[in-house]
Amino acid sequence: MTVTNLLTLVKTVLALPRKRVNGAVSLLTGWWLIRLLWRLRILVTATLVVLFAYSTLGWVGLVLLAVLPPVLSFAWRVLHPQSHTWFVNRLLARHRLRHTYGSRWDAVMVACNLHVPVPGGDHLTPTLRKVTLAPVGDVLHVRLLDGQAPADFARQADELAHAFGVPEVRVTSAGPGRVELVLVLLDVLAEPVILTDVPPVTDLRRVRFAIGEDGLWRTRNYANIAAEVGGGVPGSGKTAGETSLACGLIQNPAVQYVVADGKGGEDWSWIAPRAAAYCAEDEDLEAVLRVVEQVHGLMRHRLKTQKATRGEANFWNLPLDPNHPAVFLVVDEVQTFTDTKGMDNDTKQLAYQITARLSVLVKKGRSAGIITRLLTQKPTADALPTAIRDNASVRTAWRVMSKDAAEAILGPVVREAEVSPVDIPEAMRGVAVVATDAGRLERVRFPFVDEHTAETIATRTADLRRELTAFGASALDDQGANDDGTASESEGEAAGVRA
C-alpha cells in the first residue's frame, strides 16, 4: 500500500460519523473478547464454577467442589471401569494432541525432513489428526501430504524417536494417505504373560491367541481355515502357546479336540479328560495312524452327508452346534511321523500313510469344519512336506536358527520383512512372528498357562467331551477308513491311545 492510499484510507475513516466508528470499534472489541474467552474457556469455566459454589454455599461449597469430583470419579471407576478409562484416556489424548505434540509438530516434521517446501520460503507438513493411547505408548494418527508414503516415515523412525524423546517409533500404514506413529515407551513383549485362568472361546471367528507389540490382544478367524503350521526350536514356546489357545477352545461345547503328541511325553497329558482322542505315542506309528484315520473318516463322512443332512455343503455356513462340532486336530512334533530318515521299511509305509492322510485333511478339511494344526521343530521339506505346508493358511514361527527355517514356516514374505523369528532372543520364550490379516509380519507373545491350570480347565469341561464316533467317524479300534467312509477291523488298541 502506497503512502497516498494510506492517507486516503485515514481520511475516509475520519470522515465517517462518530456513531459508526464507535459501533465498529465496539464490534471488533467484542469479537476479540469472545475469541479470548474461548481460548481461555477452561480457566473461565473453572472460575465461574468456583464463584458460583462460593456465592451459593460459602466455604462449604468450596469444600464440596474440592471433594466431590475425585469421589465421583472413583465411584465411576469402580462401577464401570471401561467407560471411565475411555473417558480419561480421551481427555488425556486431546490434551496431548494440542499441547504435547501439536505445539511442536511443525518443528519436528521440519527437523526430520518430512516437510514439503513451497514457493515463497514456506513449507507444508503432514497433518496430525488425532492421538490415541495404547498400552505400549501414544499413537499419533497422521494424514500424509500428496506424494508421501509410509516408507518416508519408516526411514526417519530413529530421528522421530529422538525428536519425541522415546526409545522407539514404530511406523504402520493405516490406509491410503494415512500412517500411524507408535511412540513406544514400554516393550510389552519383554515380560511373559502368565494367565491364572483362560476365558472360554465363544466365537471361532474371533479367537484371542496372543498379545501384539502394541499391548492389545490379537485374534484369529478359524472359520474356513483348514490348517495351521507352527515351528520353532525346542524350548521356544510352541507347546506352551498351543496350550493357552486350547484352554480357551475346549470350553466351547461346539469344539472337540484330538491330539497326537510326537514327543512321546506328557506335555499334552493335561487335555486327556477333555480330548475326543489323545495319543502320546512317538514310536508306535500304527496308533498314530488310527487317530489320524478317525479324523479323516469323519471328514469324508461330513463331506458326503453334510449337504443332505444339514442343508449346506460348507460347515462354516452353518451355526456352531455341539451335535456338529468343529474338530481341532493337533499333531505336535509332526516330523516324528513324517520324516522317514532312519525308519525301517514297515515304519516308512506307516509314515507315508500318515503324511497322505494329513495332506488330505489340510486340503479338504475346511468345508468339513476340521482344522489341522501341525507343530514342528524341524520345518524342512523332508519333515513337513511342502504339499502340507503350502496349503496351511495360518503360520506361526517361534524362534528359529536360520533364515531358511523362517522361510519354510512363513513363506517368501519373510525375506523382505522387518521382523524375523531368527532375531527372537533365546530368553523371550513364547514370542513368535505371525502374519496379520493384511499379510504383514509382526511379533506377538503367546500367554503362558501352567500345567495345573490347564488340567483344571480340562477336568472342569470333561463333560463336554464326546467320541468322534458320535458324529460319524469310525472307532479307534478299526484299522482305517475305506473310500466309502466305512472301516475295516483291526486287532486291539495300542497303548498310549485314548478315546
Query: Please, which residues bridge with residue 172 across strands?
Result: 180
259 labelled binding-site residue: no
Q: Is the pLDDT of residue 480 over 50?
A: no
Specify the pLDDT at position 215.
85
Determine the pLDDT at residue 34.
79
236 labelled binding-site residue: yes
- Say how far apart CA 256 and CA 274 lie, in whole Å: 8
Torsion sign, CA atoms 281, 284, 285, 286: negative
More confident residue, 29 or 341: 341
Q: Averaged over 281-308, what is the pLDDT?
A: 92
* CA gap 458, 452 in Å, rounded: 10
Cell for 154?
Answer: 519408516
Q: Which of the pair, 484 or 66, is modelled with greater confidence?
A: 66
Residue 73 counted as an annotated binding residue = no
Q: Cell numbers at residue 152, please? A: 518416508
Residue 4 scores a pLDDT above 80: no
Q: In angstroms, what CA-CA distances link 429 with 181, 421, 442, 448?
A: 27, 12, 16, 10
The mean per-residue pLDDT over the stretch 12-20 comes to 61
232 marked among binding-site residues: yes
**pLDDT confidence of residue 7:** 67
Q: What is the value of pTM for the model shown? A: 0.73
Q: How confident is the model at residue 87 (pLDDT cuts 50, 70, 90)?
A: confident
Q: Is 176 annotated as a binding residue?
A: no
453 appears as a binding residue in the annotation: no
Nearest to 386 by CA among 365, 367, 359, 420: 359
Compute the residue count for the chain. 499
Confidence check: pLDDT of 495 > 90: no
pLDDT at 391: 83
d(CA 444, CA 257): 24
Q: Is the pLDDT of residue 368 over 90?
A: yes
The pLDDT value recorded for residue 454 is: 94
- Residue bearing cell 462460593: 54
Q: What is the 3-state secondary structure (H, E, C) of 423-481?
A: HCCCCCCCEEEEECCCCCEEEEECCECCHHHHHHHHHHCHHHCCCHHHHCCCCCCEEEE
- CA 206, CA 77: separation in Å to the nearest integer? 28
What pLDDT was estimated at residue 356?
A: 92
Rounded Cα distance between 222 and 366, Å, is 9
pLDDT at 13: 57
Residue % of the chain over a pLDDT of 90: 46
Alpha-carbon dihedral of residues 387, 390, 392, 396, nearest 10 degrees? 120
Looking at residues 412-437, what average pLDDT do you find? 87
Q: Residues 328-347, buried b or exposed e (16+ Cβ, 10 A)?
A: bbbbbbbbbbbbbeeeeeeb
Mean pLDDT of 319-325: 92
DSSP letters spanning 348-405: HHHHHHHHHHHHHHHHHSGGGTEEEEEEES--STTTS-HHHHTT-SEEEE---SSHHH
Task: Give the per-residue pLDDT at 22.
Answer: 65
Q: How confident is the model at residue 18 (pLDDT cuts 50, 70, 90)?
A: low
DSSP E strands, 242-325: 255-261, 277-279
Domains parsed from the chain with CATH numbers? 57-184 (3.30.980), 207-498 (3.40.50.300)
Give the mean pLDDT of the chain: 85
Task: Give me the pLDDT at residue 251, please.
Answer: 96
Whether 277 contacts 259, CB under 8 Å: yes
pLDDT in tens, 44-63: 787 877 787 778 878 877 78
Tell me whether strands 370-376 and 326-332 are parallel, antiparallel or unpaired.
Answer: parallel
Please name which of 219, 240, 191 lies closest in space to residue 449, comparing C-alpha atoms.
240
